[in-house]
């Protein structure tokens, strides 16, 4: 057990992957529920943006305390976190609209693929920008 705790404590990438996996489930769950209730046409983009807000706020709290173990000024980090994820969300919303509305791709599958594509970029950006010391 102590070995697992040591691995967890020493490996930020492992923490990012585990926390990110959990965040993905929460954000995707929010998306799936909202998409089920309100999806269709332009509502798809609104659903993606609202679910992204829920997911980003949850992700910030989890990454702050578990991944990066930051003790910086929370609201400055939160704003920088939003710059990173806000940029990602805008790109993701545009791609989602094109893929689901114009090309007719399944919204659930499209959202999973797009979320997975941006994981490495956000790890790098949060380490260098959101939670910089």
CA dist 64 and 74 (Å) reads 9
What's the domain count of the chain?
1
Residue 31's domain comprises 2-130
Count helices and strands in the chain by DSSP H and E runs: 6, 0
Query: Taken in order 65, 69, 75, 80, is the CA torsion positive or negative?
Result: negative
Are 3 and 15 in contact, with CB atoms under 8 Å apart?
Answer: no
Q: What average pLDDT does the segment 2-19 reach?
A: 83
pLDDT value of residue 85: 82
pLDDT value of residue 53: 87
Percent of all residues in the chain with a pLDDT value above 70, rounded to a whole number? 98
16 CB-near residues (< 8 Å, 6+ apart) = 63, 67, 123
Confidence band (pLDDT; 50, 70, 90) for 75?
very high
């Amino acid at each position: 057990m102590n070995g697992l705790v040591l691995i967890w404590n020493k490996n930020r990438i492992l923490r990012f992957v585990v926390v990110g996996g959990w965040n993905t489930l929460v954000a995707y769950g929010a998306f799936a529920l909202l998409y089920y209730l309100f999806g269709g046409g332009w509502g798809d983009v609104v659903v993606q943006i609202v679910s992204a807000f829920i997911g980003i706020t949850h992700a910030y709290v989890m990454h702050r305390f578990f991944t990066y173990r930051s003790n910086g000024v929370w609201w400055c980090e939160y704003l920088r976190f939003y710059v990173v994820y806000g940029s990602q969300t805008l790109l993701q919303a545009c791609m989602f609209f094109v893929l689901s509305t114009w090309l007719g791709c399944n919204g659930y599958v499209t959202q999973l693929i797009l979320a997975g594509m941006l994981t490495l970029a956000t790890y790098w950006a949060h380490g260098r920008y959101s939670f910089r010391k």
